[in-house]
Structure 1
Amino acid sequence: MRHALITGAGSGIGKEVALAFARGGDALTLADLHAEPLEAVAAEAREAGAPRVEVVPIDLRGETAHDELIEAAWSVAPIDVLVSSAGVYPATPFLELDARAWDFVLDVNTRAPVLLTVALAKRAIEAGRPASIVSISSGAALRARPGAAPYSTSKAALEAATRASALELGRYGIRVNAVAPGFVEVDSAVNPVTDKYADAVGDTPLGRRGRPDDIARAVVWIAGDEAEWITGEVLRVDGGSSTGAWHLPQHWTALGREGDADA
């Protein structure tokens, strides 16, 4: 039995990740901003098979939140897995950005998972224990879109931090990876999207939108023993949307005809 700490566990991908670990018989500490949804997920996790579930309502933007959360979870049991799933993605046109809007996204999406990784690594090294850390990135790390400059930047930085931390922590038996979802349909009051946006980004080469359980299975796998020689990687779980520009038309209709291309 492992002990998994999961942030952003009150809804969406974080919730499904928590339930996936619960079905595997793992103990859980669940963190999110609000207590009520956390308690509801905790009840589901116990029914799904988690032998123990603790909840920690916390604002990850707090100056010492990372240390407080690791301390609270470690006091229950040493942490084997950390999944940083908490994230925000407000749409702000570039010319309307200010320091407050920028810092809000970067503090939640990049600063929090990095400092949680630091805090857990210190604990694990002191205790002589291995650990597996998985952060939730996004396809937006590779492809910008209107209104998402802070979000895209936060996820690109998170992927760089994943590689940097994996490089320095591997010698201690600490693996650090990321899972980067494509568009995933979630019911989130914190991060709502319009139907128009979902229709625009939800078509993939594999023919459907993502589901939270698609991401949860990938997280459980890369956090586990079957992936024990993988670290510093970003696993893209996106239905193939990162393979290229799926929606562009062909720029010619046939190949091999005289005059179609220069020799």
Structure 2
Amino acid sequence: MSRHVLITGVAGGLGGAIAERFAAAGDRITGVDTREEPLRERLDAIAAAHGVATDAVTADLSGPDAGEVVGRAWRRSGPVDVLVNAAGIWPATPLLEMTAPMWDHVLGINTRAPMLTTVALARLAVAEGRPASVVNLASGAAIRARPGAAHYSTSKAALEMLTRSCAVELGAAGIRVNAVSPGFVAGSSQEVNPITEEYAAAVSGNPLGRIGQPDDVAAAVFFLASPEAAWTTGAVLRVDGGSSAGNPALPVHWTEPTSVQSPR
């Protein structure tokens, strides 16, 4: 049965891949982004490839009215069954140069907007007695700080707790809320969130030995929104090639083999 899936950040690499995955299953897609032309181009390509209905909603999610995109999508294309909060920014700002507006802008898009869209969906779904599923895009930065990313790491750590809080409060209404936490993924938007080759080389190592692809993340999002995950809520699924588990490139900490000594 076709679902109506609302996805933010569809003009970006991850958001576009997620939209593609749901469309391949026959779901109707409403895509949201600030960049109207690339948003419409991506949705037109998805509609042509999969024969599904798509709708573009151009909106700035940084403000206090971010949740209004849910109502617009609901009115234009019917009740929203799945919400994917994929929009996000990760600027590099050294802590000694941080200002309140810089901090608030990142937290506004990465944390406040998912809260507002989730609440907006929940209100509509509860009013009509409908179940729904929300999947947020977190990040490995939520558990690993790095230079220049205090605002970003904080926003994603907060998003993980927001995911759990929403799951606790909305579960009784039949609304599941989960998150996918990607590691370093190739194909993210360089236009909006550029990264250097040096940074990519430094963070791309993981136990599985390859860089993640947008389809890896899209598959995890699709699973969490599916009936196969019907008893899963408040979860954070780390899709990072194992990088959060440890670093296989580290040398053995002692040059010679050692054995465990019995205590005397």
Aligned to 2:100: 99
Secondary structure at 2:52 match in 1: coil
Aligned to 1:62: 63
Q: Is the 8 A contact 2:206 2:247 kept in 1?
A: no
Secondary structure at 2:112 match in 1: helix
The whole-number CA distance in structure 1 between the counterparts of 2:252 and 2:95 is 31
Residues 3-34 of structure 1 show CA distances to partners (whole Å, capped at 9, x for unaligned) of 00000001210000000111110001000001
Aligned to 1:219: 221
Determine if the alignment matches structure 1 residue 166 to structure 2 residue 167: yes
Q: Is the 8 A contact 1:82 1:132 kept in 2?
A: yes
Structure 1 pair 70–207 and aligned structure 2 pair: CA distance change class (3 A):
same
Cα root mean square deviation, aligned: 1.3
The within-5 A match list for 1:67-78 is 68-75=68-75, 76-78=77-79
The whole-number CA distance in structure 2 between the counterparts of 1:231 and 1:205 is 27
Equivalent residue letter for 1:73: A
Equivalent residue letter for 1:204: N
The whole-number CA distance in structure 2 between the counterparts of 1:6 and 1:50 is 18
Residues 85-139 of structure 1 show CA distances to partners (whole Å, capped at 9, x for unaligned) of 0000001111111101101110000000011100100000001000000000000
The within-5 A match list for 1:24-63 is 24-63=25-64
Aligned to 1:156: 157
TM-score (norm 1): 0.96
List 4+ stretches of structure 1 deviating above 2 A.
Answer: 245-249, 253-257, 260-263
The whole-number CA distance in structure 2 between the counterparts of 1:252 and 1:176 is 44
After TM superposition, give the deviation of residue 187 of structure 1 in Å.
4.5
Counterpart of 1:207 (choices 195, 201, 209) is 209
Secondary structure at 1:147 match in 2: coil
* Structure 1 gap segments, 5+ residues each: none
Query: Aligned pairs, how many?
Result: 260
Aligned to 1:84: 85
Structure 1 pair 238–107 and aligned structure 2 pair: CA distance change class (3 A):
same
After TM superposition, give the deviation of residue 218 of structure 1 in Å.
0.5
The whole-number CA distance in structure 2 between the counterparts of 1:22 and 1:205 is 31
Q: Percent identity?
A: 54
The whole-number CA distance in structure 2 between the counterparts of 1:114 and 1:248 is 38
Q: Is the 8 A contact 1:28 1:50 kept in 2?
A: no
Counterpart of 1:231 (choices 230, 233, 253) is 233
